[in-house]
Amino acid sequence: MDAATLVDQLEAVLAKPETLSGLDNDVTKRRLSEAAFRLNLALEAGGDTIHRLTNAPLELALSRVGVQTGLWTALTKENALLPLTNSQLAKETKIDPVLLKRLLRYYQSKGMVAQTGEDAFAPSNITKALASVGGSSGINYL
């Protein structure tokens, strides 16, 4: 199998996940998720492994910041006109715009929010999970 072809196929799926058939099957979806995770780990360089592990506590702590400030809720409101800008989110959450910009850059790098433009943010599947009752309760519990 050619690696470049696989990369092209994966990028096409990421651009339009709805074009991938079989995602309505939970078993297939789980298998795909686990295979992608294992592939990611198999390709990870030693330094990247250390970076991932040492930064794991930061991911939890900043997830909690998103819960406590209402950022996840602001991004997932039913009536929100998406995408939202940094200034709109800062006004909604009462977070300093400079700090929020840094937080959003971090969240985007972890897939916790989707950055759809230079100053345009929308919820990802992770945002929605963090905004859910179970997600926010679990994050606050830890």
What pLDDT sits at residue 22? 79
What pLDDT sits at residue 58? 95
According to the CATH classification, is domain 47-141 in 1.10.10.10?
Answer: yes
Sign of CA dihedral 42, 44, 47, 51: negative
Query: What are 105-119's pLDDT values in tens digits?
Result: 999 999 999 999 999
What pLDDT sits at residue 41? 94
pTM, two decimal places: 0.81
What pLDDT sits at residue 13? 86
Given a contact cutoff of 8 angstroms between Cβ atoms, the answer to whether 53 and 45 are in contact is no
Residue 80 has pLDDT above 80, yes or no: no
Closest CA to 122 of 107, 141, 102: 107
What pLDDT sits at residue 98? 98
23 dihedral zone (left: phi>0; alpha: psi -120 to 50; beta): alpha
59 dihedral zone (left: phi>0; alpha: psi -120 to 50; beta): alpha
Q: What does the domain layout of the chain look like in residue ranges?
A: 3-43, 47-141
